[in-house]
Chain A
Amino acid sequence: MKSAVIVFPGSNREGDVARALQIVSGVKPALVWHADTALPAGTDLVVLPGGFSYGDYLRCGAIAARAAIMDAVREHAARGGLVLGICNGFQILCESGLLPGVLVRNARLRFICREALLKVERNDTPFTRRYAKGAVVRYPVAHGEGNYTADADTLKRLEDEGRVVFRYVLPDGRRDDAQVLNGAANSIAGIVSEKLNVLGLMPHPENHVDPLVGPTDGRALFESLVGALEKA
C-alpha cells in the first residue's frame, strides 16, 4: 500500500497517522508538502491528517482546502482513489467540497479530548471492512470544532444513501442526539463520499492502535485499507 500524508503548515497529527500506517501496513507513508502540486506516483491512499492547518484561521480547513496540493487530491478522489481525512482532515474535506456539510464549534464551546464510543454503521466500505457491522468501537476525539452540521436536505440524503459510517453512541450502542459530546447532527462522527472512496471522520483511529497507550480499536480501520488495496 502506497500512502501519502499531506502536511500543511499547522498539521500536527501527521506523525501519529504515519506511524499507525507503518505499524499496520509495514510501509512508511510519504509526507507530502502542501505547496507541492503532485502526489507521489502510484499513491493508493491520501491522508489529510489532524491538526490546526493555517492555525484554523478564517475557518477550520478553509485555507488548506485551497492549498496547491488539493487539486491533486481532488483528481485522485475523482479517479476513485482513497482519501482519508481525520479531524482537521475531515474539516478540509468539507471545505474543499469532497464531502458535504461543515464542522462548527462544539456545542459546549470547549475543546474535548476523551475516548468516544462509535457505532460502525456499515462495513462494506474500504475503510471499515474489518469491523463487524454495528460494532461499537472506541476512538479518542480531540477537537474544538467537531460539531457536524448540514442542511436538512443534505442530512436526509446522507442518511438515505447510508453514507454515515461512524456515529457517536452511548455505551449500550444507542444513539442519543441530545447527549452527543460535540452536538453533531444525527450524532454523525464520520461520513463517506457517494463512491465510498473518501472518508472524513472527527475521532482519531490512529491514536488507538498501540496497546501500550490505549485500546487498539483503530487498528482495524487501517487493516481494512490494507486489505482493500491488496484486493484491488
Chain B
Amino acid sequence: MTSAEPKITPELVAEHGLKPDEYERILKLIGREPSFTELGIFSAMWNEHCSYKSSRLHLRGLPTTAPWVIQGPGENAGVIDIGDGKAAVFKMESHNHPSYIEPHQGAATGVGGILRDVFTMGARPIAALNALRFGDPKHPRTRHLVAGVVGGIGSYGNSFGVPTVGGLVGFHTRYDGNCLVNAMAVGLADADKIFYAKATGVGLPVVYLGSKTGRDGIHGATMASAEFGEGAEEKRPTVQVGDPFAEKLLLEACLEIMEAGCVVAIQDMGAAGLTCSAVEMGAKGDLGIELDLDNVPCREAGMSAYEMMLSESQERMLMVIAPGKEEQAEAIFRKWGLDFAIVGHTTDDLRFVVKHKGEVKADLPIKELGDEAPLYDRPWVETPKQQRIDPAALDISATIPGALERLVGSPDFASKRWIWEQYDHLILNNTVQRPGGDAAVVRVEDGPKGLAMSCDVTPRYCEADPFEGGKQAVAEAWRNITAVGATPLALTDNLNFGNPEKPEIMGQLVGCLRGIAAAAKELDFPVVSGNVSLYNETNGRGILPTPTIGGVGVLDDVEKMATLDFKDSGEIIFVIGATTGWLGQSAFLSEILDREDGAPPPVDLALERRNGDFVRALIADSLVTAVHDVSDGGLLVALTEMALASGIGANLIAPPAEINPYGFWFGEDQARYVVTVESGSKALVLRRAETAGVTLAKLGTTGGDRLNIPGERPIVVDALRERHEAWLPIYMGAGLM
C-alpha cells in the first residue's frame, strides 16, 4: 500500500527513536510490517514526550481530586472551580530542548503551545508565567540563551495579548547544556462551558482550523525525548516557528465558534501535530477517525502523508463540529482570515485511517496507539541521604552584611527587572500584584475575586533529597500563594529531569514525585495538569532535578491582598515559624562558601499548614501590614526584599545565643513568613499565635533607611538596591556592545 516510500530497516526504526523491543511490540500489535507513515505515527505516539512511558507508572501516585477540581490530568489543561460560576484553567509545559537549540522560537512556541492548551478548553487566557533555568552566567552560551528566551517569550505573549505576570529565573552550571523553559498559562472560563478532546457521534466532520501545515517541527517531540550530544544546534530544523498573530486570531475564532455552539470536541495540534490530536479525539471518545490528507491546508507543495502527520507547525486546531454547524463555523473562521477545512470524519470501527491521493497510508487500531504505548518500570535507586550541616563547623570569613551584599547581587537573587520589563505585564488591566511579589495576582474580571499564581522549586534541595525537595517545591508554591492572602487550590507540575534510563536519575524522579504527592495530599493542593520533560542531558551530564510547581489560589476579595513591602516606620516585624538555622543546601552555602552539600531543610507539612492558615487568617482580618514568605536566602534576604520594595529599613534584634548567627540570618528553615504588625495589633496577634500553637518571634521594628543588626555595620538599603538592580543589566549589556 505504500509506493515510493523508504523501506523499513532497523536503522530507520532507530532513527525514529524506537528501541528494537518497541518495534517488536508494533509488529505484534498490527500483525505486519508498518508503512513508513505508520512508523512515523508510532514514533510520534510512543516517544517519551507524548507517551510518558517512563513516568506514567509513578504519576499515578499523585492526588488529583478535590471537590473543586472539575478536570484533572489527561486533558489539555486542568480545570478548577473558583466560585461564582467561574473556572480557572491552567497548565505548565516545558519547551526545553527547542529553546536550547533556537532560544527565540523555542521559547515563543512554548508560550504559544501552553496558551493554546488553555483556550482549547474554552478559556480566555488571563495570565502567563514562566520558570527559566540557565547555565552558569560564565558559560559562553548563557547570555545568548537568556536574550533569546526572554525575547521569544515577550514577543509571543505581548503580541497575543496576555499579561506575563510572574515566574522565576535561576542560574546553575548544571543547566549549561540544557536550559529549562517552563511556560504556564492560566485562563478563565464559565464553569459549565468547558470543552474537551473527547469526540462523540459517528460520521461527524473532523475539521482542521488555523494556520497551514508546513515542514517545520517534524520529529520535534522525538527530538525532545533524547539527550543532546555535540552538535545539538544542528537540530534547528526540528524547532517550530511561532506566529502570535495567527494564535490571537485562532483564540478569538475558537471562542466565537464555541460560543455559537458549533464544537463537539476540540484538540490543539501540539507535539506530534495532526497525529496526536486526531488519535486523542478518537481514542477518548471510543471512535475511529478517518483523515483525508488531500484536504489539509499546506504551506508548501508536495508534502507527503508522512510529513503532514508529523509536522508541528504552530497555531493549528482539530475539531469535531456539531451536525449542521459546518457553515456557521466556517463563516466565523473566514471572518478571522483563518483556514478551515474538513479533513475527515469520525467512524465506528476504532481504526485510525489516513488517506492521501487515493492511497491508504495508515490503518491502525486507534485505542492501542495510545493505550498500548510502552510502559516502563525503570530501575531506580534512592538518592543517598546527606548529613546535616553544623553551622558551627563552617569556616566563614564573610561578615553578615558582606554576605548579604554578595547574595542580593548574585545571579539568582539579583533583580529580574531587565527580564520582566520585556513582558507586557499590565495588559487586560487586572494585574493587581505586579512582578516582584510572592505571588502574581490578577483580578477576575471586575472583581472582587482574584487569582494568585506562583512557580516554585529549589533544584539543589531536590538533588540532595528528592523526597524532601519535591515536598518543598509544593510547600513553597502553597506558601507564596498564602503570603498574598489567597487560598491555594491546585497545582500543575512540570517535571524536568535527566535520562530516566539511569537508575540514579529515575530515583530522583520517583523521589520527587513521592514528595510532591505527599505535600499535595497533606495541603489539599491537588495536581490537575502537568508535563514531563526527560533526557535533559548533554554529553551524559544531567540537569539538577527540577520539578517546577505552578500553583493557583483564589482571593475572595482582591482588595485584601497582602504585599511584601514595609508600609510604615515603627511597625513590629515578626517571623512566624521556628528558626533553627538550617544551612544545608542553602543559598548562603552555595554563594558565599561555594559548596552545595548537606541535607536540605526538612518540610513538616502539618506545620506548613498550621502556619500558613494562621497567616492567611491574619491577612483576612487585616492584622498584618506586610507579608513575605521566607525561602532561599533565609530571613535576612526576606527582610531585604521587604526593605527594597519600600525604601524603609529596619532595626533588627541580635540572634538568640543558641543559634549560629549565619544560620539564623541565612538558614532556610521551612514554613516561615515575615510579617509586620502595627503596634496596636501586637497583643491580638500574639494571643492568636498562642491559641493556634504557632511559633512567632519578634525580629525588630521598621524604620530608617538601613538594616541595623546589633554588632554589625549598618547596611544601607539604597546601596543594596544598587547591587540588586545592577547585575542583570550589566551582564546582558556586555553582550550588546
Residues of A within 8 A of B (CB): 9-10, 12-13, 15-16, 19-20, 50-52, 54-57, 108, 110-114, 140, 142, 144, 204, 206-207, 209-210, 212-214
Contacts and interface: CB of A to CB of B under 8 A. Distances in A.
B429 A12 contact: no
Contacts of A20: 429
Interface in B210-266: 243-246, 248-249
B428 interface: yes
A54 B248 CA distance: 10
Given A112-B422, A113-B424, A207 B155 contact: no
Contact of B424 (A19, A54, A111, A206): A111
Nearest to A112: B421
Contacts of B429: 15-16, 19-20, 206-207, 209-210, 213
B423 interface: yes
Q: Contact residue range for chain B?
A: 20 to 34
B16 to A, nearest CB: 35
Given A10-B248, A212-B432, A212-B443, A51 B161 contact: yes
Contacts of B159: 10, 12, 52, 55-56
B426 interface: yes
Nearest to B248: A10
B431 A213 contact: yes
B470 to A, nearest CB: 34
A12 B447 contact: no
Contacts of A213: 426, 429-432, 443
A56 B425 CA distance: 19
B501 to A, nearest CB: 41
Interface string B431-466: 110000000000100010000000000000000000
Interface string B617-635: 0000000000000000000
18 contacts: A10-B249, A13-B427, A15-B428, A16-B427, A16-B428, A52-B161, A52-B245, A55-B245, A56-B245, A110-B151, A111-B154, A111-B155, A111-B422, A113-B426, A142-B424, A142-B426, A212-B432, A212-B558
Nearest to A114: B421
B425 A12 contact: no
B559 interface: yes
Nearest to A54: B245
B158 interface: yes
A204 B161 contact: no
B590 to A, nearest CB: 30
A153 B527 CA distance: 62
B423 A113 contact: yes
B427 A12 contact: yes
Given A52-B158, A110-B151, A212-B432, 14 more contacts: A9-B249, A12-B248, A51-B161, A56-B159, A111-B158, A112-B422, A113-B420, A113-B421, A113-B423, A140-B426, A142-B158, A142-B426, A204-B426, A213-B432
Contacts of A210: 429
B337 interface: yes
B336 interface: yes
Contacts of B154: 111
Interface in B143-180: 151, 154-155, 158-161
Interface string B394-434: 00000000000000000000000000111111111111100
Nearest to B243: A55
Contacts of B443: 212-213
A48 to B, nearest CB: 16
A121 to B, nearest CB: 24
Interface of B: 151, 154-155, 158-161, 243-246, 248-249, 336-337, 420-432, 443, 447, 558-559, 736
Contacts of B447: 212
B424 A55 contact: no
A116 B447 CA distance: 27
Nearest to B447: A212
A122 B87 CA distance: 46
Nearest to B450: A212
From B243, B249, B422, B736, name the one whose CB has the most chain A CB atoms within 10 angstroms: B422
A56 B160 CA distance: 12
A111 B429 CA distance: 19
Contacts of A209: 429
B245 A212 contact: no
B423 to A, nearest CB: 6
A204 to B, nearest CB: 7
Nearest to A16: B429
Contacts of B246: 55
Contact of B559 (A56, A142, A212): A212
B422 A142 contact: no
A57 B245 contact: yes
Contacts of B336: 9
Contacts of B558: 212
A13 B422 contact: no
B418 to A, nearest CB: 9
A111 B430 CA distance: 20
Nearest to B442: A213
Nearest to A14: B161
A54 B154 CA distance: 17
From A57, A112, A213, name the one whose CB has the most chain B CB atoms within 10 angstroms: A213
A142 B427 contact: yes
Contacts of B155: 111, 144
A129 B159 CA distance: 32
B160 A12 contact: yes
Contacts of B559: 212
Top-7 shortest CB links A-B = A55-B245, A12-B161, A52-B159, A142-B424, A113-B424, A16-B429, A111-B422
A52 B158 CA distance: 9
A209 B429 CA distance: 9
A210 B428 CA distance: 12
A163 to B, nearest CB: 28
A189 to B, nearest CB: 17
Contacts of A214: 426
A55 B422 contact: no
A47 to B, nearest CB: 15
Contacts of A56: 159, 245
B158 A144 contact: yes
Nearest to B443: A212
A214 B424 CA distance: 15
A221 to B, nearest CB: 15
Contacts of B243: 55
Contacts of B244: 52, 55
Contacts of A12: 159-161, 248, 427
B425 to A, nearest CB: 6
A50 B423 CA distance: 15
B158 to A, nearest CB: 6
Nearest to B337: A9
Nearest to A214: B426
Contacts of A15: 428-429
B534 to A, nearest CB: 33
A213 B425 CA distance: 11
Contact of A9 (B245, B420, B421): B245
Contacts of B423: 111, 113
B304 to A, nearest CB: 29
Contacts of A114: 421
Contacts of A108: 736
Contacts of A204: 426
Contacts of A206: 429
Contacts of A140: 426
Nearest to A207: B426
From B244, B248, B336, B426, name the one whose CB has the most chain A CB atoms within 10 angstroms: B426
A114 B151 CA distance: 16
Contacts of B420: 113
Nearest to A50: B427
A111 B423 CA distance: 7
Contacts of A207: 426-427, 429
Contacts of A9: 245, 248-249, 336-337
Nearest to A211: B559
A108 B423 CA distance: 15
